[in-house]
Amino acid sequence: MIRIKDLTVKNFMSVGNQTQAVDFNKAKLTLVLGENLDQGGDDSGSRNGTGKTTIINALSYALYGTALTNIKRNNLINKTNSKGMVVSLDFEKDGNQYRIERGRSPTFFKFFIKFNIPLNNVFVITFSKKT
């Protein structure tokens, strides 16, 4: 089974130039709420457009290169900054640690593997491809 540890996004959909991270490496549940200040600034209960779906789309983009919702890749880039989109996902499977990094404007894909080899040796493989 895959255990997701950490998701980091920058300039992705509603997330701007300030890097945001979600730590999934906790035993407890995490509640994600948004405060929509674009709807008049008083947060009258509107929870649309606050970034909750952004988390799911970022997970999908990191793993598969496409968002879960029907959004074209270039539309995933934050419209205010229009460049430098980066999504990174850290996860673990069978005791090995993995990291996927994807970005647009410029477009790139990086895949890191950290194998745990017996006798406490660590073997690291990095794969990088411009797409």
What is the per-residue pLDDT across 31-48, written as a single tens digit (0 to 9) for each? 776 665 555 545 455 555
**Whole-number Cα distances in Å, 89 to 46, 80, 86, 95, 101:** 29, 23, 10, 16, 7
What is the per-residue pLDDT across 73-120, written as a single tens digit (0 to 9) for each? 888 998 889 899 999 999 999 888 999 999 998 889 998 888 765 555
Domains of the chain, CATH where assigned: 3-129 (3.40.50.300)
What is the per-residue pLDDT across 56-72, written as a single tens digit (0 to 9) for each? 999 999 999 999 888 88
- pTM exceeds cut of 0.85: no
